[in-house]
A and B are shown apart, each in its own frame.
Chain A
Amino acid sequence: MSASVNSNIVKKLKALIVDDDTITRMILKALLMKFEAILAHHSGACFDLILMDLYMPVINGRQTTKKLRDMHVCSLIVGMTSQEKEEEKESFMDAGLDYYYQKPLTR
């Protein structure tokens, strides 16, 4: 993994990690910090990137993504899950994702 970022030219990425797993959040935070991302912890801010886990308690990633798109949130939303089932991936993408990655994201 290498990140040659000229911060004079490239705007710092504002990223939000949506995942109920602490280990995943720690790893993603470290990965994003390598790219000089600013990590947000509260709603109301305008994010460049939202990393969205699928399986979460109460409301899952698919439902959250759909709600965000219904609210016309135009951030780049990247879905993440360890599930291999195609129909689950497709359903997640259909909710409004821009991209989808299989966990773990660092691979």
Chain B
Amino acid sequence: MEQIQRKLAEYTASLYNEKILDEQFIQLQQLQDESNPDFVVEVVSLFFEDSERLLNELAKALNQTNVDFKKLDAHVHQLKGSSSSIGAQRVQRVCISFRNYCDDRNVEGCLKCLQQIKIEYTLVKNKLETLFKLEKQFVDAGGSFPVV
């Protein structure tokens, strides 16, 4: 159990060191309690669903002959908000750049940002799924939170 605990603590620390997550994720964990035991997983699952829908919408919007930048910006604004809410720092940062390119009506810049967001989103999704697996292993081995 100690080995799993150490692995979990090191993995968690790496997510913050690599700026994949920020302190907002800690705030989410603090909202989880006995009355709301699956809160973090529920919020993050919703983030995954929302993000995948928005990424499809962004790709569709950028594939149009006449790009509707207002619509594009609205989708990016939503993705920026949800990534900020769960602490997905790197996704949020690309969204900020994306919005600037929308303001400038720069299609090439927007396309580059979309590619970058896909990379960062895939990374944070994989990392969070691994985190939840490690947390489950820790709990199954008899551990309890918080783990520093």
Interface residues of A (CB under 8 A from B): 1, 21-24, 26-27, 30-31, 33-34, 55, 82, 103-104, 106-107
Contacts and interface: CB of A to CB of B under 8 A. Distances in A.
Interface in B24-43: 24, 27-28, 30-32, 35-36, 39, 42-43
Interface in B1-54: 23-24, 27-28, 30-32, 35-36, 39, 42-43, 46-47, 50
Contacts of A27: 28, 31, 43, 85
Nearest to A102: B84
Given A106-B24, A106-B31, A33 B82 contact: no
A23 B86 CA distance: 9
Contacts of B32: 30
Contacts of A34: 31
Contact of B82 (A23, A30, A31, A106): A23
Contact of B24 (A1, A55, A107): A107
The majority secondary structure among interface residues of chain B is helix
The 7 closest A-B pairs by CB, nearest first: A106-B27, A30-B31, A23-B82, A23-B85, A104-B85, A1-B30, A104-B24
B78 interface: yes
A106 B86 CA distance: 10
A82 B80 contact: yes
B78 A21 contact: yes
Contacts of B84: 82, 103-104
